[in-house]
């Protein structure tokens, strides 16, 4: 029986301790915001926070989360569903296309901005290079991170 | 597609569809429902029966619903795979309807025969109607391949949603609904219709001071006579079209709430999970199987030998995948003589050798290319090779199937829900009416989800086990056992006159699908052109890949034009301009990209720019890429693009598509390659089938030109084709290295 805190809630799951966090969260706990992309920690679609640190949940067994805090995309917004600065910037810069990778992108960006409030391009690249976006929204992700960190003005809708 | 330029005021439903229909009804509970569609009216009579076999069958392209709460719902027949079509189509409808944008909902049309995407189907069917020069032969083979799919033509692809469904149906539905609402209000208020104005989902009569929300007349409007060819707005009257309205699907995509196919949770079903192994070499089947270990593994429920694949069904996907990985499978021998890419290219070369200087099937011919080549002052020739590519959408292929009591429910990400329904029907022996396809958002598709073999596989597993199952392909299956952008080889020759002018062009290659005009440098004024196809077998199964033939032909053509410019000692951009005297739109796009990229300014040592221009899916796109070769390896430092799509409905959404198309094209150019080993694909996952990452993609500036008086062009694909040649041309300009075989990274490894 695995026991951990998921998005602030004490949670247990009766699963094989080797089962990756990704599948525990998706299939056993019904939270589908975290996505499966590659299964080998190469694409970042499954990124969640473990005690605040971004990890690839497809390759992190649930045993590693024992007694620790897992945060998924469902847990990043405020208690009333208020969007975070990162999410608001994702809207203003109209980042997503298909959107499948974006939970992972937002989890990586959220961790980056907590550690480095005003990252440079190099710091953005270092934090985000593990997240593939097949639709190619990279330039918007870079801009959105700068908007979220107050380094750029948000796009206006009529532009 | 040629009838509905934004400047034309009067709607017709396209030149093949004069028998277009529009109908209205009252919603249960009150409210107005309007549908616009096209009946079989294709002038290509022999194909019409395939479009709509039953005479009474209605092909509905779009619906608009106005309910008693004054909420407008645009019901769109296209799926949302990242291209933003849901949002922009609603924008087009709402504009003609004068609806308040914040009171507009978008709904995905269910997978039902009523929602056949007539115009899109026709576009797939009749590529030769798409502005192709009349000296280009239609791809008859491609045509008939697509025909088979047409009975199930609820298609999203071909960069077509806006320029077909949007222009021909959504706008018509909106305009007709508005007119009927006005009619109902005029009757009630006893005033002439001409005195009633509309704005923000409200009817106004200025003289009397009367106003009412649409909902008040929505039910009465259904009784109004319907204008089958309502007057559409002129661009100067647009309120929503041409504006960068935020996409309606984004809020759910940043909170994890958006439902993709892989997220399906059928209500009341106790879901089991399936992992599969398909043949490593196409066309082979299971001959033997040892599943001793898998049987003992936790969670495993069933192990299935399905003949052409093996499946494990377990309590979780992770358990199923681990178990299926342990199964030892003996596969039958492949009959394909092709075991390596060297074999594949040798087969291409043999076909091209046989075609020689003039043989093969003619794809386009103008003037006397052989004669002009023989008489040219200078001739150049080159052989280009393009590899096989996987689509690699981020959401791996998957499908959830629930087979019970002679019915089958399917949840999947697909570009072709009705075709998926047919495949399932055929595979499990049910009638299409007993199959329900649920198709939420797609986690990328890029053409891959125009094929539906994975849907049929899931249905077979569900039928065989009796369980509701969710089948997920591993990334390795997705990379190695799927359908592919074809490899190809192209031999090009050019003849230049004394002044360096291109007077003869000859190209022969082995693969031709769609669009028909992709293989022809039709925009340039080259007096003698010959384009030929010498068909050769492909080892891997084909599937249209974002921009289809343009993806390799754009690179072949625009690289070779660059070679000709250098052979002539001319600036490549200037050289192109000189061949575009009678193409003002193309000239304007090139001039603009020269301006914003500072093309004519000198660059630092080791840094250079390359240019390429491709017109595809009705949109002209020119790209300039700046590359820094000073480290000995290419590093992109800047990208500029200028596009003319006639009129852009949502500029920011359009730019996003162009940016994405560029990154997709550059990913393929830099890294995209599938190698064969013993006939099986070597690459397996993102570590060896590499994608560009954020640190490799510089800023991309996209400028749009609305040249107006032309049909509206597409957005999803046209950004892609110029990307690879702009980059390889830049590498040549910076280093003197001409890339004639992709991917680029292999050359600089």
Residue A105 belongs to what domain range?
Answer: 85-148
Contact A136 B660 (CB under 8 A): yes
Say whether both A70 and A92 belong to one domain. no
For residue B738, tell me if it sits in a domain: yes
Which of A23, A27, A94 has the CB atom closest to B247's CB atom? A94
Domain CATH for A110: 1.10.150.120
Last residue of a domain, one of B452, B472, B492: B472
pLDDT score recorded for residue B154? 54
Residue B173 has pLDDT above 90, yes or no: no
Q: How many domains does chain B have?
A: 3
Say whether both A57 and A91 belong to one domain. no
pLDDT score recorded for residue B10? 29
Say whether both B616 and B548 belong to one domain. yes
d(CA B124, CA B59): 16
Q: Which of residues 33-72 of A touch B (CB under 8 A)?
A: 33-40, 42-43, 45, 72
Distance from CA of B486 to the nearest CA of A (A): 19
Beta-bridge partner residues of B286: B331
Higher pLDDT, B731 or B157: B731
Comparing alpha-carbon positions, the chain A residue that sits nearest to B660 is: A136
d(CA A100, CA A136): 12
For residue B606, tell me if it sits in a domain: yes
pLDDT score recorded for residue A156? 79
Say whether both A105 and A126 belong to one domain. yes
pLDDT score recorded for residue B158? 64
Comparing alpha-carbon positions, the chain B residue that sits nearest to A159 is: B244
Interface test mutation site (partner B, options A16, A83, A84, A98, max chain B beta carbons within 10 A): A98
Burial of B75 (0-12, 13-18, 19+ CB in 10 A): buried
Higher pLDDT, B493 or B42: B493
Residue B716 has pLDDT above 60, yes or no: yes
Coil/strand/helix, residue B598 = coil
Contact A102 B254 (CB under 8 A): yes
For residue B256, tell me if it sits in a domain: no
d(CA B195, CA B179): 12
Q: Please, which pLDDT band fits residue A157 given cuts at 50, 70 and 90?
A: low
Say whether both B155 and B188 belong to one domain. yes
For residue B4, tell me if it sits in a domain: no
Q: Please, which pLDDT band fits residue B83 given cuts at 50, 70 and 90?
A: confident
Last residue of a domain, one of A44, A75, A106: A75
- Give the lowest-confidence range in A2-16, B118-132, B624-638: B118-132
> Could you read off the pLDDT of B221-238 as tens digits, one per residue?
878 887 777 889 999 999
Mean pLDDT of B158-182: 80
Say whether both B92 and B179 belong to one domain. yes
Say whether both B559 and B456 belong to one domain. no
Residue B738 belongs to what domain range?
Answer: 341-389+484-747
A19 touches chain B (CB under 8 A): yes
For residue A157, tell me if it sits in a domain: no
Distance from CA of B120 to the nearest CA of A (A): 21
Say whether both B457 and B490 belong to one domain. no
Q: Which residues of B touch A33 (CB under 8 A)?
A: 255-257
Mean pLDDT of B193-210: 96
Pairing outcome for strands B635-644 and B700-705: parallel
Q: Please, which pLDDT band fits residue B113 given cuts at 50, 70 and 90?
A: low
Kindly state the tokens that stand for B203.
């009817």
Mean pLDDT of A7-33: 97
Residue B53 has pLDDT above 50, yes or no: no
Contact B659 A140 (CB under 8 A): yes
Domain CATH for A8: 3.10.20.30
Say whether both A56 and A108 belong to one domain. no
Q: Which of residues 95-124 of A touch B (CB under 8 A)?
A: 95-103, 106, 124
Q: What would you measure as the largest C-alpha separation in chain A, in angstroms?
A: 53
Comparing alpha-carbon positions, the chain B residue that sits nearest to A87 is: B254
Contact B316 A19 (CB under 8 A): yes
Which of A30, A33, A142 has the CB atom closest to B265's CB atom? A30
Q: How many domains does chain A have?
A: 2
Distance from CA of B51 to the nearest CA of A (A): 30
Residue B525 · residue B352 · CB < 8 Å:
no
d(CA B174, CA B197): 15
Q: Which residues of A touch B254 (CB under 8 A)?
A: 83, 87, 90-91, 95-96, 99, 102, 106
pLDDT score recorded for residue B708? 85
Say whether both A91 and A144 belong to one domain. yes
Torsion of CA A82, A88, A92, A97, to 10 degrees: -100
- Give the lowest-confidence range in A78-82, B61-65, B86-90, B146-150: B146-150
Residue B126 · residue B1 · CB < 8 Å:
no
Contact B256 A101 (CB under 8 A): no
Contact A141 B694 (CB under 8 A): yes
Beta-bridge partner residues of B65: B33, B73
Residue B14 has pLDDT above 50, yes or no: no
Residue B257 has pLDDT above 60, yes or no: yes
Residue A44 has pLDDT above 90, yes or no: yes
pLDDT score recorded for residue A139? 98
Q: Please, which pLDDT band fits residue B4 given cuts at 50, 70 and 90?
A: very low
> Could you read off the pLDDT of B434-469 as tens digits, one per residue?
898 888 999 999 999 988 999 999 999 999 999 999
d(CA B200, CA B34): 19
Residue B56 has pLDDT above 50, yes or no: no
* Percent of chain B at pLDDT exceeding 70: 85
pLDDT score recorded for residue A158? 59
Q: Which residues of B touch A46 (CB under 8 A)?
A: none
Residue B50 has pLDDT above 70, yes or no: no
Q: Which residues of A touch B687 (CB under 8 A)?
A: 40, 42
- Give the lowest-confidence range in A127-136, B430-439, B478-487, B639-648: B430-439
Comparing alpha-carbon positions, the chain A residue that sits nearest to B79 is: A98
Comparing alpha-carbon positions, the chain A residue that sits nearest to B701 is: A139
d(CA B98, CA B724): 42
Contact B685 A38 (CB under 8 A): yes
Which among B715, B690, B693, B711 is positioned nearest to B702, based on CA atoms?
Answer: B715
Higher pLDDT, B69 or B621: B621
Say whether both B292 and B150 belong to one domain. no
Q: What is the ipTM of this complex?
A: 0.98
Last residue of a domain, one of A47, A75, A103: A75
Coil/strand/helix, residue B653 = helix
Contact A98 B441 (CB under 8 A): yes
Q: Which residues of B touch A28 (CB under 8 A)?
A: 316
Last residue of a domain, one of B472, B496, B528: B472
pLDDT score recorded for residue B604? 94
Which of A15, A83, A100 has the CB atom closest to B443's CB atom? A100
Beta-bridge partner residues of B385: B489, B741
Q: What is the DSSP letter of B265?
A: -
Residue B617 · residue B713 · CB < 8 Å:
yes
Mean pLDDT of B290-306: 97
Domain CATH for B451: 3.30.365.10
Say whether both B374 and B315 belong to one domain. no
Say whether both B234 and B111 belong to one domain. yes
Say whether both B599 and B714 belong to one domain. yes
d(CA B6, CA B355): 45
Beta-bridge partner residues of B196: B205
Q: Which residues of A touch B661 (CB under 8 A)?
A: 136
Q: Please, which pLDDT band fits residue B650 given cuts at 50, 70 and 90?
A: very high
Beta-bridge partner residues of A5: A10, A69
State chain A's mean pLDDT as an integer: 96
d(CA B533, CA B512): 7
Say whether both A71 and A11 belong to one domain. yes
Which of A73, A135, A155 has the CB atom closest to B256's CB atom? A73
Kindly state the tokens that stand for B91.
């924008």
d(CA B349, CA B352): 5
Last residue of a domain, one of B472, B497, B523: B472
For residue B253, tell me if it sits in a domain: no
- Give the lowest-confidence range in B219-228, B471-480, B565-574, B622-631: B219-228
- Give the lowest-confidence range in B37-41, B170-174, B522-526: B37-41
For residue A29, tell me if it sits in a domain: yes
Say whether both A59 and A89 belong to one domain. no
Mean pLDDT of B538-564: 97
Say whether both B731 and B589 belong to one domain. yes
Distance from CA of A42 to the nearest CA of B (A): 6
Q: Which residues of B touch A30 (CB under 8 A)?
A: 265
Which of B244, B472, B699 has the CB atom closest to A159's CB atom? B244
Q: Which residues of B touch A102 (CB under 8 A)?
A: 253-254
Which among B691, B659, B592 is positioned nearest to B392, based on CA atoms?
Answer: B691
Say whether both A54 and A8 belong to one domain. yes
Mean pLDDT of B154-170: 69
For residue B429, tell me if it sits in a domain: yes
For residue B417, tell me if it sits in a domain: yes
Mean pLDDT of B145-170: 59
Comparing alpha-carbon positions, the chain A residue that sits nearest to B251 is: A91
Mean pLDDT of B487-506: 98
Contact A20 B321 (CB under 8 A): no
Q: Please, which pLDDT band fits residue B110 given cuts at 50, 70 and 90?
A: low
Percent helix, percent strand, percent coil in chain A, to nearest 5: 35, 15, 50
Residue B274 · residue B320 · CB < 8 Å:
yes
Say whether both A112 and A140 belong to one domain. yes
Contact B475 A39 (CB under 8 A): yes
Last residue of a domain, one of A26, A46, A75: A75
Higher pLDDT, B25 or B248: B248
Most confident among B42-46, B272-276, B713-717 (mean pLDDT): B272-276
pLDDT score recorded for residue A61? 98
Mean pLDDT of A6-34: 97
pLDDT score recorded for residue B62? 56
Say whether both A131 and A66 belong to one domain. no
Residue B142 has pLDDT above 60, yes or no: no
Angle between helix B417-428 and helix B453-465 axes, rounded to 10 deg: 40
Interface test mutation site (partner B, options A34, A58, A100, max chain B beta carbons within 10 A): A100
Listing from the earlier edge strand, what are the strands of the sheet with B488-496?
Answer: B361-366, B528-533, B502-509, B488-496, B378-386
Q: Please, which pLDDT band fits residue B36 given cuts at 50, 70 and 90?
A: low
Q: Which residues of B touch A133 (CB under 8 A)?
A: 394, 663, 694
Distance from CA of A69 to the nearest CA of B (A): 19
Say whether both B404 and B444 belong to one domain. yes
Pairing outcome for strands B528-533 and B502-509: parallel
In the block, residue with structure tokens 């603009």: B592
Comparing alpha-carbon positions, the chain A residue that sits nearest to B394 is: A37
Residue B44 has pLDDT above 50, yes or no: no
Say whether both A69 and A114 belong to one domain. no
Q: Which residues of B touch A100 (CB under 8 A)?
A: 260, 393-395, 443-444
Most confident among B81-90, B227-236, B494-503 (mean pLDDT): B494-503
Listing from the earlier edge strand, what are the strands of the sheet with B407-412?
Answer: B300-305, B310-314, B272-277, B469-472, B398-404, B407-412, B435-438
Say whether both A32 and A67 belong to one domain. yes
Q: Please, which pLDDT band fits residue B27 given cuts at 50, 70 and 90?
A: low
Residue B395: alpha-carbon gap to chain centroid: 17
Mean pLDDT of B89-95: 93
Say whether both B183 and B322 belong to one domain. no
State chain B's mean pLDDT as an integer: 86
Distance from CA of A41 to the nearest CA of B (A): 9
Comparing alpha-carbon positions, the chain A residue that sits nearest to B264 is: A32
């Amino acid at each position: 029986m695995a026991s951990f805190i998921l998005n602030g809630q004490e949670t247990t799951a009766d699963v094989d301790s080797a089962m990756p966090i990704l599948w525990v969260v998706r299939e056993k706990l019904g939270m589908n915001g975290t996505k499966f992309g590659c299964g080998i920690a190469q694409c970042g679609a499954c990124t969640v926070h473990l005690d605040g640190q971004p990890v690839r949940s497809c390759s992190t067994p649930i045993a590693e989360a024992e007694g620790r805090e897992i945060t998924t995309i469902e847990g990043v917004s405020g208690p009333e569903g208020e969007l975070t600065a990162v999410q608001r910037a994702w809207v203003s810069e109209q980042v997503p296309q298909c959107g499948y990778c974006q939970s992972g992108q937002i989890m990586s960006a959220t961790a980056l901005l907590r550690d480095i409030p005003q990252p440079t391009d190099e710091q953005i690249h270092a934090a985000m290079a593990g997240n593939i976006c097949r639709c190619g929204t990279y330039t918007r992700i870079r801009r959105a991170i700068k908007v979220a960190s107050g380094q750029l003005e948000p796009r206006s809708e009529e532009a | 597609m040629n009838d509905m330029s934004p400047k034309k005021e009067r709607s017709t439903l396209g030149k093949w569809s004069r028998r277009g229909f529009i109908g209205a009804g009252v919603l249960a509970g009150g409210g107005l429902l309007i549908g616009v569609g096209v009946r079989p009216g294709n002038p290509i009579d022999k194909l019409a029966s395939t479009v709509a076999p039953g005479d009474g069958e209605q092909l509905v392209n779009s619906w608009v619903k106005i309910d008693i709460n004054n909420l407008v719902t645009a019901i769109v027949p296209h799926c949302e795979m990242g291209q933003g079509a849901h949002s922009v189509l609603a924008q087009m409808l709402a504009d003609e309807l004068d609806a308040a944008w914040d009171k507009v909902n978008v709904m995905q049309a269910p997978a039902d025969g009523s929602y056949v995407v007539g115009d899109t189907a026709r576009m797939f069917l009749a590529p030769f109607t798409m502005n192709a020069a009349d000296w280009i032969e239609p791809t008859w083979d491609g045509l008939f391949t697509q025909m088979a799919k047409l009975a199930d033509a609820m298609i999203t692809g071909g960069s077509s949603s806006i320029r077909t469904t949007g222009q021909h149906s959504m706008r018509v539905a909106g305009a007709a609904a508005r007119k009927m609402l006005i009619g109902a209000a005029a009757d009630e208020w006893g005033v002439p219709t001409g005195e009633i104005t509309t704005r923000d989902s409200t009817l106004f009569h200025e003289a009397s001071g009367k106003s009412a929300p649409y909902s008040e007349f929505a039910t009465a409007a259904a009784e109004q006579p319907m204008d089958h060819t309502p007057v559409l707005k002129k661009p100067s009257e647009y309120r929503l079209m041409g504006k960068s309205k935020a996409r309606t699907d984004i809020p759910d995509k940043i909170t994890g709430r958006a439902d993709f196919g892989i997220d399906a949770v059928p209500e009341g079903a106790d879901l089991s999970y399936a992992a599969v192994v398909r043949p490593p070499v196409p066309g082979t089947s299971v001959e033997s199987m040892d599943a001793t270990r898998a049987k003992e593994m936790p969670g495993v429920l069933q192990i299935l030998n399905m003949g052409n694949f093996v499946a494990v069904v377990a309590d979780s996907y992770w358990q199923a995948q681990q178990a299926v990985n342990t199964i030892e499978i003996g596969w039958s021998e492949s009959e394909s003589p092709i075991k390596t890419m060297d074999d594949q290219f040798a087969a291409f070369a043999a076909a091209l050798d046989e075609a020689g200087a003039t043989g093969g099937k003619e794809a386009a011919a103008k003037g006397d290319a052989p004669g002009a080549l023989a008489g040219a002052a200078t001739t150049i020739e080159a052989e280009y090779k393009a590899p096989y590519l996987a689509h690699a959408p981020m959401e791996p292929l998957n499908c959830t199937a629930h087979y019970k009591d002679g019915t089958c429910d399917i949840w999947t990400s697909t570009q072709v829900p009705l075709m998926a329904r047919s495949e399932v029907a055929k595979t499990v022996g049910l009638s299409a009416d007993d199959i329900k396809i649920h198709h939420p958002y797609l986690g990328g598709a890029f053409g891959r989800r125009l094929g539906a073999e994975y849907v049929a596989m899931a249905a077979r597993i569900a039928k065989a086990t009796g369980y509701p199952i969710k089948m997920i392909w591993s990334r390795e299956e997705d990379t190695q056992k799927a359908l592919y952008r074809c490899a190809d080889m192209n031999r090009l020759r050019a003849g230049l006159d004394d002044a360096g002018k291109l007077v003869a062009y000859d190209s022969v290659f082995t693969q031709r699908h769609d669009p028909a005009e992709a293989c022809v440098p039709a925009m340039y004024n080259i007096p003698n052109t010959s384009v030929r196809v010498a068909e050769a077998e492909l080892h891997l199964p084909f599937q249209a890949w974002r921009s289809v033939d343009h993806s390799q032909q754009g690179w072949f053509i625009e690289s070779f034009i660059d070679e000709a410019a250098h052979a002539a000692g001319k600036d490549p951009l200037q050289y192109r301009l000189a061949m575009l005297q009678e193409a003002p739109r193309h000239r304007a796009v090139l001039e603009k990209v020269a301006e914003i990229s500072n093309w004519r300014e000198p660059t630092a040592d080791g840094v250079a720019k390359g240019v390429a221009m491709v017109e595809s899916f009705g949109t002209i796109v020119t790209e300039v890429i700046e590359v820094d070769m000073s480290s000995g390896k290419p590093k992109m430092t800047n990208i500029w693009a200028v596009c003319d799509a006639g009129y852009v409905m949502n500029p920011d959404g359009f730019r996003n598509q162009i940016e994405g198309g560029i990154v997709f094209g550059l990913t393929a150019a830099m890294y995209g390659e599938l190698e064969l080993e013993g006939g099986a694909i070597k690459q397996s996952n993102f570590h060896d089938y590499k994608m560009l990452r954020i640190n490799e993609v510089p800023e991309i500036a996209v400028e749009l030109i609305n040249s107006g008086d032309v049909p509206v062009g597409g957005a999803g694909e046209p950004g892609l084709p110029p990307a690879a040649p702009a980059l390889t041309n830049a590498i040549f300009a910076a280093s003197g290295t001409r890339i004639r075989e992709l991917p680029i990274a292999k050359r600089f490894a």
